[in-house]
Every structure is written in structure tokens, then in C-alpha cells.
Structure 1
Amino acid sequence: MTLGTKIAWDDTVLPFQLDKSDMRGRVARLDGVLSGVLKQHDYPPQVEALVAEMALLTALIGQTIKLRWKLSLQVQTNGPVRMIATDYYGPTKEGDPARIRAYASFDADRITDAAPFDQLGDGYFAILIDQGNGTKPYQGISALTGGSLKASAEAYFAQSEQLATRFSLRFGKSIEPGVPEHWRAGGVMLQHMPKASPHVTGEGGSGEGGILLAQDVLNDDDSENWNRVNILLDSVEDLEMIGPSVAPTDLLIRLFHEEQPRVYDAQQIKFGCTCSEDRVRASLSIYSAKDIEKMTTPEGRVTADCQFCGAHYDLDPKTVGKDAQEVDGA
């Protein structure tokens, strides 16, 4: 792919590299993915905004994982929004789309008119990577900081990975003539190429509470490149990020043409959930008949709802648990 090529960029992530400044990055545009995530729930506006931001971060970070791997982002707090969870499933084979799902757990009576991030309180930001059967999942955790989810993600990469990372995100409801109102999001992720020996002093970082930030893991020469490219990124306009007319390739040319940008194949993304009746039955297989009896509704059924996609499962209690009878037709 060459710069200037037009692509169908809704629900895609475009990887790129800035050869002059030794940086890599991604441009993401989400449309139908966000609709798929948010239409499953009647979230308050502040919660919708947090889920949209988290889904956009997940798309930008997840593009780097390998086929069939799973990346999860989680935020847990003591605030009105107790948890936000997202999953990114790598493509099952080359050329297939990746899949994203997300949901939030919150106390409706504690939601205020304050800004979305203020609904979180104290908590942590976590990244988990699952490489599949026979492997131990990786988990990294850092504190929520900096007044936004994107700032918390930047601090995570500096603190846990010693990688200078920057996110520039835009998201909101799109209003176009003849088109139903819906959420759109666009973002750019910048990351300095990893060095063999990260420049970390061991004296604590410049963030609140001594948390490491991007400038803490770069040497002087790298910092000059980092600052220059971030100044260029700061010039981006909202419509360039989420508007309907500027392709990611054109955006990269406008922002970084002097940095020698190089782009790679775009990754398509769709909303997708992995829940199924078989998975529900598997999760219930550890319970005894007595436990299953406690879960049985007055109508004589065992029910389960997927928090991610809203799917409802209605099962005969005799067919689940350790002492399950064989399902008819199995």
C-alpha cells in the first residue's frame, strides 16, 4: 500500500511507521463497532463516553497481537463506574477481521453530572494478553492517572513496558443529514521504537505519585524526536479524526509528511462476542445439583445473560452442572 491510497476506513486500524523519528503507530476509526458495543445497553452518556474511549484504546493497542490471541483491557474502581472491560480477539486467519466487545458495570444512583473520568474514582488500569491453550496469560497493572483513560494507558506503557506512548483520541455522537445519530471514534497511537536498554533512572517518574511517563523513558536525542512528532500530532483537528472525508493515509501525510511515514496493511475490526450455550454449560459444570437448584428460577429454569452482547440463555436445570443429564439431541 502506498501513501495517498484511499481505503474503506470505517472500523479499521492502519499501522504506520515514521522512519525519520524511529516511531511506530496506528490510526483507528470506529463506527459500526461502537454501535454494536453500545446498543446492547442503555448506558448514561458519561458511561457511553468511557466505553467508547476504552473500545478505541483497545482497537489501537490490540492491532499488534498475533492471530488468535486475545487482548483484554480492564478498569476497576471504587467510583460510580465500578468496571469497564473490553476484549480484542485477533483474526482467526490472515485477512479475517479482528473482533471487539466491551461493557461497563456501574451504580446508576451514583452517576453524577461530572465529567466521564470523574465517575471512576480510585482504581487501576490493566492489560491482559492470552496466547491460547497451554500458555500463561500475561497481566500488567498500573494506577488510573492523568484525568483520562488515555493518560492511564500512556502511564501503563511507560511504567510497565518502558515504552514512550501517546494517544490522541476523539469520540462522540455523529449527526449527519439522513443518517441516524450514532457514535463515532477516531484516534492515533504513537510509540517510540523499543530500545535494548530503556532510559530509566530508577528514581521514580514525573507523573503523580512518581509514576513513569513518556519523557522518563527517553534519552535526550529520542526526546527531541518525541517532542517534535507530538507537536505535529497536536495540530490534528476533530473532523480529521472522526469526520467522513479524511482517509487515514491523507491524515498521516498532512501530519507527518516530513517524518517519512510508511504504512502497512489495514486491519478490519467488527463487533463480535464469543459467548455460546456450550460456554455457559461449561461454566456451570463445576456446580453440584444442590448449587444448581439454588440458581433455578421459580419458573424452573437456569438463566444467564451475556454482559457483552446481551444474549439470553434459558436452560433446563437437569441438563447443567456436575450431574447434568444429556441434552436432547446431543
Structure 2
Amino acid sequence: MTLGQKIAWDDTILPFQLDNADIRGRVARLDGVLDGILKQHDYPNAVEALVAEMALLTALIGQTIKLRWKLSLQIQTNGPVRMIATDYYAPAAEGDAARIRAYASFDRDRISGDDPFSQVGEGYFAVLMDQGPGSEPYQGITPISGNGLSASAEAYFAQSEQLPTRFALTFGKSTEKGGAEHWRAGGIMLQHMPAASPYAEGGGSGEEGLLLPADILDGDDEENWNRVNMLLDTVDDLEMIGPSVAPTDLLVRLFHEEVPRVFDMQPVRFGCTCSEDRVRNSLSIYSAKDIEKMTTEEGIVTADCQFCGAHYRLDPKTLGFDAQNPPDGDA
């Protein structure tokens, strides 16, 4: 593979379908996206790994959904990592890149060891979908699985959507010849095509009574699902993370007997939607007295974007619903 081909597959999501098994999927590779997300913050290694994993899950899930605006994933826990929030913004037009952003909130003093998931305590995994103006946002929540973040995402799809779903993910710091050390991530998502479910009311066989694929599938569907998952079990981390193996070649290697069919590749980029106007709008609900409490000794109001690190310095007289001197000059 040439250098150009390697770069072409970085920061992309490749949709595919296994026609012989009635299963769809995605292959994702993240490189520059993670650099954009992580360079804004001084995260410990374990926190960086968790953010990388959440960003990869967000890329895979976001591209799967018929999305007009935004998908958000979030975990809230009682562990050292209190929260990780990610956003996936659908392409504004055909051919445009999707955008991903992410950040983590954590107690640095409680971070211990290098195992990322040990920094996550009990809590919940949430999926939020917002299709934009004129639509009602959707939120689904499932407990965080003791088996990891990807297992939590699988439990969400089984429980909330009754769609058997499997993630195979890998991520870590990579150093290529002549380059600096940086984070890379790669993964594969499998999902059974929607169909009538044989599941009856009652607890599932998973953790805390959650549904598992075996609770949802039967007959040929169950056999196909198990066979394809056994094939996915043979994947190597270096095959997923790249860049030496193209996703198309990987699909042929794993699933050639399932007749893989690929669709248009989706580029993804790091991107944030913050702006001074958005900051002003968020402060428009406050009175002058409230704004005064936010004003620093320098006589300004400051705001920082948790996602991209942008720093805003604003004149307090231009803020709030009773601003004396709004930016447009209208009192």
C-alpha cells in the first residue's frame, strides 16, 4: 500500500453489508480526529484511551443512523472519570465530512494505574439523538457494563433497539517511521438488519437482566450472527488500526464467504460548533446581577469550550437579557 492510500483511509468510516448473513457494518479508522480531540487537553494516558474509545464508538454509531444533525454519547460514573461526552455532527451536504468532538471530566487525584476501564465506576451509558429544529430529541440509557464501554454500547442496542450489535475496537499510541507518537484507533461494528424479534416480555440473559443477541435472534438469523461473530474474532488489532491494511482488503479477508458489499466511504474530521454568538446566547437568560457575579477582577466575563479549548473574553455590559450595550447596538 502506498503512502497516499494509507492517508486516504485515515479518518474515514466505510459502510458495508454482508448479503449472505443479512448483517450490516462499519469499519472506522481515526487518526487526525483523535489528535484534534486530545491535543486540547492534558489528559492522563488512561483518560486519553477512554476518550479515544468513546470517539471511535461515536464515529461507528453516528454513521449507522439516518442522522440530520447530531448524535451524542455520554457516560456518567461515580469513578475517577466522572463523565465523557462526545458529539457526532452529520455532514451538512453530500460529500462533506462528518465532525466529531469529545471531552472528559475527571478527578486527577483519583486516577491510578494504566488500565483505562478501571477509572470508570458505576453509572450509565446514554445515547442522545437530535435531528434538529422541529423534532423531539431522543435519549436512551443503559447501565455501564462491567465488561467495558463497547459492551455498554452493545447492551444499549439490544435493550433499546432490539438490534444485535457487536463492536471490535482497538486504540493506542502509534509511531510511524519519521513521525511523532500519536493516538490511532480502529474498529469494526456489526449489526443484524432490523427484523421481527422473537423476544418476549421478561428479563434478558445479560448483565442485570439486559437483553443479549441470543435473546433476540433465533433460527437462521442466530446461526448467521454466530458465524459472522466467529469470523470477526479472528481479526488482528493491527489489521483494524492500520494503516498497512485497507478496510476493503480487511473485509475480504474476514468475510469473503459472506459476500461483503461496500458503500461510499464517509470522511470524518475533528470539529467544534462553539462560537462567541453561542456563548452570548447561553448567557442571555441571566440578569445584569447574575452577569456581575461572573465578572472577573479585570472587568470581563470569560468562557472556555470544554471540547476545543477556545477561550472567550466578553464585555459584561453586552451580556444578559438586560444588557446595556448589546453587540448590535440595540438596547
Q: Is the shorter-chain TM-score for this pair beyond 0.5, marking a shared fold?
A: yes
* CA–CA separation in structure 2 for the residues paired with 1:54 and 1:18: 25
- Does 2:100 align with 1:100? yes
> Identity, % of aligned pairs?
76
Match of 2:242 in 1: 243
- Does 2:89 align with 1:86? no
Alpha-carbon contact 2:67-2:131 (below 8 Å) kept: no
* CA–CA separation in structure 1 for the residues paired with 2:246 and 2:25: 16
Task: Report the alpha carbon displacement of residue 328 of structure 1 after superposing the two structures with TM.
Answer: 6.8
Task: Report the alpha carbon displacement of residue 20 of structure 1 after superposing the two structures with TM.
Answer: 0.3
Match of 1:193 in 2: 193
Q: Give secondary structure in 1 for the equivalent of 2:261.
A: strand
Alpha-carbon contact 1:103-1:308 (below 8 Å) kept: yes
Select between 155-164 and 238-247 the one with higher mean Cα deviation. Answer: 238-247
Match of 1:130 in 2: 130
1:154-303 equivalences under 5 Å are 154-195=154-195, 197-303=196-302
* CA–CA separation in structure 2 for the residues paired with 1:133 and 1:127: 19
Give the letter aligned to residue 86 of structure 1.
T
Alpha-carbon contact 2:74-2:127 (below 8 Å) kept: yes
TM-score (normalised: structure 1): 0.96
* CA–CA separation in structure 1 for the residues paired with 2:301 and 2:185: 38
Task: Report the alpha carbon displacement of residue 65 of structure 1 after superposing the two structures with TM.
Answer: 3.4
Alpha-carbon contact 1:67-1:93 (below 8 Å) kept: no
Give the letter aligned to residue 247 of structure 1.
A
- Does 2:61 align with 1:61? yes
Alpha-carbon contact 1:154-1:214 (below 8 Å) kept: no
* CA–CA separation in structure 2 for the residues paired with 1:270 and 1:327: 32
Unaligned runs of 5+ in 2: none
* CA–CA separation in structure 1 for the residues paired with 2:276 and 2:253: 49
Alpha-carbon contact 1:67-1:94 (below 8 Å) kept: no
Task: Report the alpha carbon displacement of residue 118 of structure 1 after superposing the two structures with TM.
Answer: 1.6
Alpha-carbon contact 1:199-1:219 (below 8 Å) kept: yes
Task: Report the alpha carbon displacement of residue 180 of structure 1 after superposing the two structures with TM.
Answer: 0.5
Task: Report the alpha carbon displacement of residue 215 of structure 1 after superposing the two structures with TM.
Answer: 1.6
Match of 2:303 in 1: 304
- Does 2:317 align with 1:318? yes
* CA–CA separation in structure 1 for the residues paired with 2:161 and 2:44: 34
Alpha-carbon contact 2:29-2:242 (below 8 Å) kept: no
Over the residues paired in the alignment, what is the CA RMSD in angstroms? Answer: 1.5
Deviation string 1:90-115 (CA, Å, 9 cap, x unpaired) is: 00000000000000000111111162
Give the letter aligned to residue 14 of structure 2.
L
Give the letter aligned to residue 112 of structure 1.
S
Unaligned runs of 5+ in 1: none
TM-score (normalised: structure 2): 0.95
* CA–CA separation in structure 1 for the residues paired with 2:67 and 2:190: 22
Match of 1:25 in 2: 25
Task: Report the alpha carbon displacement of residue 314 of structure 1 after superposing the two structures with TM.
Answer: 0.2
Match of 2:40 in 1: 40
Task: Report the alpha carbon displacement of residue 144 of structure 1 after superposing the two structures with TM.
Answer: 0.3
Alpha-carbon contact 1:17-1:261 (below 8 Å) kept: yes
Match of 1:111 in 2: 111
* CA–CA separation in structure 2 for the residues paired with 1:321 and 1:148: 43
Match of 1:139 in 2: 139
Alpha-carbon contact 2:16-2:24 (below 8 Å) kept: yes
Q: Give secondary structure in 1 for the equivalent of 2:163.
A: coil
Q: Which runs of 4+ in 1 moved over 4 A?
A: none
Alpha-carbon contact 1:55-1:100 (below 8 Å) kept: yes
Task: Report the alpha carbon displacement of residue 7 of structure 1 after superposing the two structures with TM.
Answer: 8.5
Q: Give secondary structure in 2 for the equivalent of 1:244.
A: coil
Aligned pair count reads 325
* CA–CA separation in structure 1 for the residues paired with 2:6 and 2:114: 40
Deviation string 1:212-267 (CA, Å, 9 cap, x unpaired) is: 11221111321111110001001011111112211110000000000010000000
Task: Report the alpha carbon displacement of residue 200 of structure 1 after superposing the two structures with TM.
Answer: 1.1
Alpha-carbon contact 2:73-2:85 (below 8 Å) kept: yes
* CA–CA separation in structure 2 for the residues paired with 1:234 and 1:267: 25
